[in-house]
Structure 1
């Protein structure tokens, strides 16, 4: 072998060694970078779709400047969901948007189109699991005026998919406005002017069981399932204590938040892991 060939071989070996050292350094640096670790954790989390008219993923922004307000912080529901799931907001339900998901939350969603009802039903029958909050009279405060398209929907308009699963959403209009905790499937669920589910006489294509209070329904639908709650007060912010003194208000809000967090955690376990 000539001197030139030897020199080229040594040069290639040195270059390769430098690359390997650089890659090792990059890897070590990436391992030590908290941002990279956070991305890795998010990638490892199961994906969870979210479709809602409630300000869960984004806060309400009455003015454009509100979008830039860093003091608002994330909604507590979003923060709780993102502890265990990679949250993915959905604008529409199609076979394509649902295909990557095994889990879905519909929280007081807008009325679904016929195509969306079919896509949702097909997805569940193929093994998807959905938790559905359907409130017949939303009590959550909103900064948006009545008629503003950004306002959360005051009434759940989900009759087609409920009928498909053999259910009807009803409401007792004589209820008072007090918040109470209701037992349903062994969970303590905060409610406020809630609805109830009733089984339809015919036409349902799911096996559904109702809780004793009929606040909740648990359905087996093909290979998948649905957990339905006839109220959305569990997702509220703590805004029911405005007339109290500061210390009493803070204590009441802390207690309310604990009840809501425990109830939502229980619903997630029951609906997705149970």
Structure 2
């Protein structure tokens, strides 16, 4: 993991802005070059060993974050808002080239029912544009859009909509709709999503922070604390019908990954993550 952290800290000088997304199209019979293979294996290992596991190897979360990119290419000069010339290739080209290598690797990935998406955050951070690389389980997303059509339908989002469109729409929505939309996409239970949104409404009205507790599901990197986390009202008791079901389903997915992981270790203890996932889904098809 140390090698991965160093790699990501160099490459993932993270992000870009806007209400659009990099188009990600799965392709077949395309071979990664050595850099692309290392990049894909690295980001997928980060996901498998954290909360994205529950999207990559299960249907507990329709979407999970993988890594974030941050590039100093944002326009922070309001006098240039109407200009078509914002960036200087001599200064900013190296950042766009790095982003291009990321997009090329993403576009070559092809894992059944999973789609990697690169979404620019709507709001820039001074000179930085931030993009979030996430993974979406398309079948789970379709089920969510149907189950929560009273919410997602207002945006014209229905089952079968491209994940890039869904997430970009939520990213560029009103902040409360954005929080609710992301809560559903990240697999939090309804009561936790309601609490999260209402707590911010209350804080905005009263200026006081709303006390809360956290429910945690263990992951490979954090077996005790867990980094699949959602919050609920202080004093609320988690229930067997909702929270325990999520917890035990998460533990089963984690145990499955632990069983598979050692079969895909490299000599430097990194994981052949892409091969692990492809083999898993090939075997799943054979079992059906």
With the length of structure 1 as denominator, give the TM-score of the two structures: 0.28
Q: Give the structure with higher Rg (CA).
A: 1
Give the number of the structure with larger relative contact order, counting CA–CA contacts within 8 Å between residues 6 or more apart: 2
Of Structure 1 and Structure 2, which has the larger fraction of its residues in helix? 2
